[in-house]
Amino acid sequence: MKLSAKGRYAIKALVNIATNKSDTPKTLLEISKYQGISLSYLEQLFSLLRKNNLVSGVRGPGGGYRLKDNPDNITIASIIKAINPDHARHVNQDKPDDAVWDKFSQKLNSYLDTVTLGSLINETKDNNDINQSDMNDISNYYQNN
């Protein structure tokens, strides 16, 4: 499993969609402006997220993207796997560093399969890391831009 900037951008974009209080889908342009991520980069990410059934596109005026499922059902591992498709990689068990890294990757993947987008958002809210005014700021930004 690869935890990269690409993964961080995908997770942040899905958090933005999940914390959207309005019923309207989020456009990639809105997410791009809010997060300071290039639009073409987001298009590539969302192509993979859509292909892996994590988001769905809404066409036409007022269109954009929505989560395909409840945030409590979307694991962080599924997001990472969607944007970093595993290519069958042969692990040489004769090389201790490869074997250790492979074992670590398996453990990390198992853990991230237990963490959902919804649990991260709720846990952060519960710990006051994101307060209500922060959530309102995100919603207001999207409504006004």
Distance of CA 129 to the CA centre of its chain: 19
Residue 27 DSSP class:
P
- In whole angstroms, how far apart are CA 137 and each of 27, 65, 92, 126, 131? 17, 20, 49, 18, 10
**Which CATH number covers residue 127?**
1.10.10.10
pLDDT band for 145, please (50, 70, 90 cuts): very low
User: Structure tokens of 30?
Assistant: 């809105």
The mean per-residue pLDDT over the stretch 64-87 comes to 90
Number of domains in the chain: 1
Two tokens, residue 14: 């899905």
pLDDT reported for residue 109: 87
User: Residue 89 forms beta bridges with which residues?
Assistant: none
The pTM assigned to this predicted structure is 0.79
Quote the tokens at residue 31: 């997410």
79-116: per-residue pLDDT in tens? 999 998 765 567 777 888 888 888 888 898 899 999 99
Domain boundaries, position 31: 5-144
Kindly write down the DSSP assignment for every residue of 49-105, as one continuous string.
HHHTTSEEEE-STT-EEEESS-GGG-BHHHHHHHHSPPP-----TTSHHHHHHHHHH
